[in-house]
Amino acid sequence: MKRLVFWIGILNRGIPPFASVCPWCRHDHMTLRSVSFFCCALLWGATEVVAQDVPTLTFEERLGAYDKSEGLTEPSGLSTGHTVPFWTVSDDHPFVLGLDVKGTVVTVIPLGKGVHDLEGVIEDTARARLLVVSEKKTEITSIDLNDLSEISRYPLSEMGGFSKLLSDFDTNWKKNGLEGITVAPETGTIYVIKEREPRMIIAISADLSTILSIEMLGRDAGLISPRKNDRKMDISGIASDPSRDGQWILSDTDQAVFFRDLQDGTVYRYPLSWMSESGLQHVSNPEGVALSADGTELFIITDNGKDSALFRYDIQ
């Protein structure tokens, strides 16, 4: 079986196998999507909720994403690109890797000895740059796509507003520090995520000079896992979705991706699975998430040793 439909809707598209998160109580429901939304709308006293507007995911393809000779050994971030189909980073090497549509390394951009422990990457197409986030260095590295030798580093500690950020980190913030990174295409605002303890999203100005805001991504924000308690649940990647005015937020420990509607804060959870020759499999160690330019495909990269892979899902 080549295709796995997450929302079991071959005959009725309203029934998900694990179901979406109810936007009122934030829990997973094994009920019809339309019924769930209708009940929640009644409890809210809300205006009409259109069920068909909720994104659905369909598994399409799994490709290998491991090449020791090229340094693709621990994929830890993912971005779609224009000069290459994908960008990724490997947290045990100080460079950015360009991948083709088959997950093969076609470009290597070295970043120098001072950059390490890379956990996320995004191509900021409008500004012709790559942005890479380093967990333990707590900084963003910018690479000029018109001149790959032009590399600049921006520690968060040197940005305006860092004192407020520091007060919200606990004493182990470097251990559970920065992970994914994305850009809002229209404004250029950069978003980086802190993995956990506490989970948070940090908005940074397009010129990388100022921390604009800090938002906690705990239970109150709708990121709830039925598999992990709140303290152990992490977030490992993020991708902007301007066509739906939302964000896709990935969790390694939960083996799921969440869609967050930025208009009303509603969150939907999608357990990540795929169909192999031996049957249904869970996606192990998902570390990076990216969206196609037209918003019709979602990509996940995993850090799973020699079994590291690039997954492709259709969004409808």
Residue 245 has φ and ψ, to the nearest 5°, of 50, 55
Cα 49 to chain centroid, rounded: 26
164-212 pLDDT tens trace:
777 766 545 566 789 999 999 889 999 999 988 889 999 999 999 999 9
203-258 pLDDT tens trace:
999 999 999 999 999 888 999 988 888 888 999 999 999 999 999 999 999 999 99
- Say how far apart CA 77 and CA 302 lie, in whole Å: 9
10-14, 167-171, 307-311, range with greatest mean pLDDT: 307-311
- DSSP assignment of 248-286 equals EEEETTTTEEEEEETTT--EEEEE-EEEETTEEEEPPSE
Is residue 272 over pLDDT 90? Answer: yes
Can you give the pTM of this predicted structure? 0.83
Structure tokens of 83?
């000069």
